[in-house]
Chain A
């Protein structure tokens, strides 16, 4: 009863809040944060009540039930350590107009990823944060969910190990951002003395984001969680007391399985794709902001050691525009380029495409006449995001199973309370600054199980294409739903390698005896494998790899919770299916490539994987299969043609930082046979204000932001060029911003 009452209050307040949402800087807040920023909302609804309705990454509420997208029960809610609004912080990603390093009001930064910052925002200061001049947009951190013998041979990884290049992933870091790892599993141990008793671990570093902060993450720029070095892990292992376990409720063992596919050593019988790679593990709390931090952590560990790295993300969410512009997507893409937006050699991120190919979580069409889509609720809380072109506008009507309905005109936020559930509907007038499109946001709370709701779109003035997603596949489905556009974020990011799944096995000898699971056709695309394209029309996935069913290491802390038919005899391995399993096959293959040539960047790797992909009678549409089935050995064989850069005839100049505030560091490279050049700085009128002669084939210089006549140079835009007798470099545009 209480549940219903506050649900009613919530809906009414949300609707009221929406009326004022157009004021001030709230257009720089996503729909959830817009509601949170309203005093009226906070007066009527407590933090606990909100948490029950909308899944958020919340300080103190970064708890497993929410992160793993399971329903939270009133009993669980009653024990959550949630305080008052005054103390409440919400996890956010902030897009700044530049790489801003100063303080922001009410924001505790936890990670800097180019222009995207991650951290905690005071709920009471959200409007101040959005109103700061450097802030372009603030996005609520949302939960992401994990994506759930024969396969190594299927992708010909074993032939890459023994082929002409003999690559097993040595000298490459494979980063696994997941539920953790079973450090005791033989496949992740090292027997240095050869006595048959492993004393070492293959894990180079482990960051447990959920543990209480002890300062160990500070050196990496993060102020939460705990980082363990290899020596610390080995000390703990010597005492048979691993400090971090892969036992996350509901999903324990996922990370161990994924790590084993990518880089398991095979000591217990089954090798992963890159068995000699180093492992860096992040046991994440599964929210978008912290996943971005986790990827950066892996790359930082790799940079410290001068090693290339590939990060595997077997996780995702359907909250977002699905076009690469969410701050989650952008934050990850940003980690693959330098501040001149050039690919960083030796870095790649591989992401599971998603398991929603057969879940009907998406519906979309060109809406030029009145159109109705039916939504079936499968959980008490259902969030739906509808995205459309910014030129179009629609009146949106939501009709409850009992016939009650509510309509939101553009610019309106409305609510409706019915016996079948409560409706919150936000139909913005303005465009979303992230992509210039518009997002219609619908949340159902207290929805009756299997209740059917109608969403009706009436085009106003100009219609256009609309794409709608249920943000959690367990929460609901569209009756008219299709399989396209189901690639989840961050597989939609612009610079990642997205991986679909196909079936390589459906029968096996389990601990309970012979077992056959599902009637998937061996060799065919797994029905659950998410399909492209992205909403901005890019074909996805990039490539497809084995994802059903895959044998890989079993995490011992959760062994008792795994059904016998999923366990293999011996107890070291288990079966799982999902694009979670196909992505680490590709991550392992990327490690094999980087082991041969560490200067490959993500585009080189993606191109090698696509060009070498196999096609057979099963493969087909690029939005189902990408380029085809992964062939690791063929990709490695392609490398000699990939690594010879064309001779550079023109001088090259790289700005190592932009914008700058005290000095401008630059790196120059002169053409073969040229050992002298000049770096000039011009103002916008074309007047030369600074010249420095440079010698040697290459080197770095610092410009102190002063003119040749010893005058300081003001903030603004300047042009920098390297000139030799063989020509001039491209003009670099340098911004001075103090």
Chain B
């Protein structure tokens, strides 16, 4: 708990008033289909390879290595592709956001990368660190990075905390543009449901808002029946639904986001574990 207080204090002191919204979008949209189906409330779940992005402390609890890839047809016909690997203590992800042609001569493209470590502290508790970098490729080039910290206590109710952009280098381009990363703390909790037999499930929620990010609540739940799962969630973009299927070492996740104004976004994730 002391660590949390220190973290919060350091964080509050370092807040900037000039942070820009959206500078980390190349990673913000690079979530797995499972995470999207849960409304994005994965901070306190963080039990798969994508913990690299949700909460690096979650990597400490992984027992197997996995390779994973996701592709999304996001709102506005934007394509998002991410690949990564994660396992005990360590993981990394790369993502590409591509608008395709906008008119005849304009295109937006950016890439993001994250490298995370998670270290177990004592029974159920772990900490993690994450380095993120984003690089815009077109129409102009720019780049920046940040270091983030996360913690996780696993129990019947799992609690997680993520402090973003504790240290960072502004996303900057040659033309003089320089945009600080938004600093913020996100807290989350996940409750394992007391189900029996072939059933398992959890409810999860997270709250964001201490810092420079807007106040945001995400919540979701999933129900597994052996190797099949259904899930639903709600986040700042509205509701989302998803499903999963496992076959031996393969897992496929799928999610759909029916947005009230922007249409529907689809996302699929394929993971193989060793």
Contact = CB atoms under 8 A, between A and B. Distances in A.
A99 B103 CA distance: 12
Given A97-B107, A731-B262, A735-B102, A714 B18 contact: no
Contact of B25 (A97, A115, A684, A733): A684
Interface stretch (A449-457, A545-553, A704-712): A704-712
* Interface residues of chain A: helix, strand, loop or mixed (majority): loop
A658 interface: yes
B171 A707 contact: no
A713 B177 CA distance: 12
A229 interface: no
Interface string B90-124: 00000001010011111110100000000000000
Contacts of A718: 22
B206 interface: no
Interface in A396-448: none
B75 A659 contact: no
Given A735-B106, A738-B173, A680 B212 contact: no
B76 A715 contact: no
Interface in B138-182: 138-142, 171, 173, 175-177, 179, 182
Given A686-B237, A686-B257, A714 B171 contact: yes
B259 A707 contact: no
A340 interface: yes
Given A680-B261, A684-B97, A717-B97, A133 B108 contact: no
B227 interface: no
A133 B141 contact: yes
Interface centre among A680, A689, A737 (most CB of B within 10 A): A737
Contacts of B259: 686
Contact of B139 (A98, A713, A719): A98
Nearest to B40: A685
Contacts of A99: 105-106
Nearest to B240: A686
Nearest to B170: A714
A686 B75 contact: yes
A716 interface: yes
Contacts of B173: 715, 738
Interface in A712-728: 712-719, 721, 723, 728
B19 interface: yes
B99 A721 contact: no
B99 A738 contact: no
A713 B236 CA distance: 17
Nearest to A116: B105
A193 to B, nearest CB: 50
Contacts of A712: 18-21, 179
Contacts of B140: 97-98, 133-134, 715, 737
Contacts of B237: 685-687
B262 A683 contact: no
B78 interface: yes
Interface string B223-266: 00000000000011110000000000000000001010111010
Interface centre among A102, A658, A686 (most CB of B within 10 A): A686
B25 A716 contact: yes
A114 interface: yes
B214 A709 contact: yes
B102 A721 contact: no
Contacts of A731: 75-76, 262-263
A707 B214 contact: yes
B105 A115 contact: yes
Given A102-B175, A716-B23, A719-B262, A684 B139 contact: no
A718 B140 CA distance: 16
Interface residues of B, number: 51
Given A711-B182, A714-B20, A684 B107 contact: no
Contacts of B141: 133
Interface centre among B106, B107, B110 (most CB of A within 10 A): B106
Given A98-B105, A133-B140, A711-B182, A682 B20 contact: no
Given A658-B106, A715-B179, A684 B76 contact: yes
B136 interface: yes
A339 interface: yes
Contacts of A684: 25, 28-29, 74-76, 78, 80, 97
B261 A723 contact: yes
Given A98-B139, A731-B75, A659 B20 contact: no
A519 to B, nearest CB: 45
A408 to B, nearest CB: 33
Contact of B78 (A658, A659, A717, A723): A717
A719 B139 CA distance: 16
A715 B26 CA distance: 11
B267 to A, nearest CB: 12
A685 B236 contact: yes
A714 B22 contact: yes
B103 A340 contact: yes
Contact of A735 (B18, B139, B216, B257): B139
A716 B110 contact: yes
Interface in A76-96: none
A716 B171 CA distance: 11
Nearest to B138: A97
A714 B181 CA distance: 9
A712 B136 CA distance: 18
Contact of B262 (A98, A709, A721): A721
Interface string A96-136: 01111010000000000011000000000000000001100
Interface centre among A341, A709, A717 (most CB of B within 10 A): A717
Contact of B108 (A707, A716, A738): A716
A332 B152 CA distance: 60
B122 to A, nearest CB: 35
A493 to B, nearest CB: 12
A345 B106 CA distance: 22
A715 B138 CA distance: 11
Contacts of A719: 75-76, 262
Interface string A119-161: 0000000000000011000000000000000000000000000
A97 B235 CA distance: 35
A103 to B, nearest CB: 10
Interface in B1-22: 18-22
Nearest to B182: A711
Given A707-B21, A712-B21, A682 B177 contact: no
A711 B184 CA distance: 13
A733 B263 CA distance: 14
A339 B22 contact: no
Contacts of A683: 21-22, 25, 28
A362 B22 CA distance: 53
Given A133-B141, A716-B110, A733 B261 contact: no
Contacts of B182: 711
A134 B80 CA distance: 23
Nearest to B171: A714
Nearest to A684: B29
B141 to A, nearest CB: 5
A728 B75 CA distance: 14
Contacts of B19: 711-712
Nearest to B29: A684
Given A98-B105, A341-B104, A715 B142 contact: yes
A709 B208 CA distance: 14
Contacts of A340: 103
Contacts of A716: 22-23, 25, 108, 110, 136
Interface of A: 97-100, 102, 114-115, 133-134, 334, 337, 339-341, 658-659, 680, 682-689, 707, 709, 711-719, 721, 723, 728, 731, 733, 735, 737-738
Given A715-B173, A717-B97, 7 more contacts: A684-B29, A684-B74, A687-B236, A713-B22, A714-B21, A716-B110, A737-B140
List 4 A-B pairs, minimum CB-CB distance, nearest first: A686-B237, A98-B139, A714-B20, A714-B23
7 contacts: A97-B107, A341-B104, A659-B106, A680-B261, A683-B25, A716-B22, A735-B108
